């Protein structure tokens, strides 16, 4: 969005407080995340991490709810190792020498897609040998998901909310009831999320 780029420029480059305030309002309006204020994604990686934080919700819903399906093409930024996407809001270079890669939050997006596709493929398998192979593959995919489960937390300054946008939809309340415990808001609200 051109407005967001202009807003980020006004915030970062213009020394006038009124310009910074206007830029922040434009940024807040563009993202429409409740409580989102005082920060605007300044880099493509910032935007990608924010997008991935909410993208994990729909990917996980498509994996768990068999009424949902994945689109024919999925475009994801901030791809990381082991089939994951980064969802944490802090950029690696913001941490300086205290940077610890284990603190980066990730979601096993590739494992979710593989798991869902295996369920679709294997649901109608009747041959015992093929069924055994399906079960083994599904177990492997589930292990990958357990290593990098979907996680939500509250850090409004960086645009992360554990109950948004779900809290605005009756259908999504049902999804949150079906979601595994690992998908609940179980990460504390800290400035490093």
pLDDT (tens digit per residue) in 52-105 = 999 999 899 999 988 888 878 888 888 888 899 999 866 666 655 555 566 788
Give me the pLDDT at residue 94, please.
65
Give me the pLDDT at residue 113, please.
93
Residue 191: half-sphere exposure toward Cβ, Cα within 13 Å: 3
Separation of alpha carbons 91 and 42, rounded Å: 11
Give me the pLDDT at residue 5, please.
77
Give me the pLDDT at residue 185, please.
41
H helix or E strand, kind and range, residue 110: helix 109-122
Give me the pLDDT at residue 93, please.
63
Q: Within a 10 A sphere around the Cβ of 117, how many other Cβ atoms?
A: 15
Q: Of 126 and 96, which is predicted with more confidence?
A: 126
Give me the pLDDT at residue 127, please.
95
Confidence of residue 20 (pLDDT cuts 50, 70, 90): confident
Separation of alpha carbons 96 and 6, rounded Å: 28
- What are 152's strand-pairing partners? 185
- 165-183: pLDDT as tens digits: 865 443 433 333 444 444 4
- pLDDT cut 90: percent of the chain above it: 32
């Amino acid at each position: 969005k051109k407005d967001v780029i202009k807003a980020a420029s006004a915030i970062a480059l213009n020394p006038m407080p009124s310009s910074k305030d206007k830029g922040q309002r434009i940024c807040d309006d563009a993202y429409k995340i409740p409580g989102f204020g005082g920060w605007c994604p300044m880099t493509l990686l910032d935007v990608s991490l924010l997008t991935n934080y909410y993208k994990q919700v729909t990917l996980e819903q498509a994996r768990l709810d068999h009424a949902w399906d994945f689109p024919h093409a999925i475009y994801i930024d901030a791809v990381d190792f082991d089939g994951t996407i980064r969802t944490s809001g802090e950029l690696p270079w913001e941490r300086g020498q205290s940077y610890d890669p284990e603190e980066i939050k990730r979601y096993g997006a590739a494992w979710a897609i593989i798991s869902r596709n295996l369920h679709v493929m294997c649901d109608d398998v009747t041959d015992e040998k093929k069924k055994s192979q399906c079960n083994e593959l599904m177990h492997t995919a589930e292990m990958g998901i357990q290593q990098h489960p979907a996680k939500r937390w509250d850090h409004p300054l960086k645009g992360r909310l554990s109950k948004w946008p779900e809290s605005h939809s009756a259908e999504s309340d049902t999804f949150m009831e079906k979601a595994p415990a690992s998908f609940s808001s179980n990460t504390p609200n800290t400035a490093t999320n």
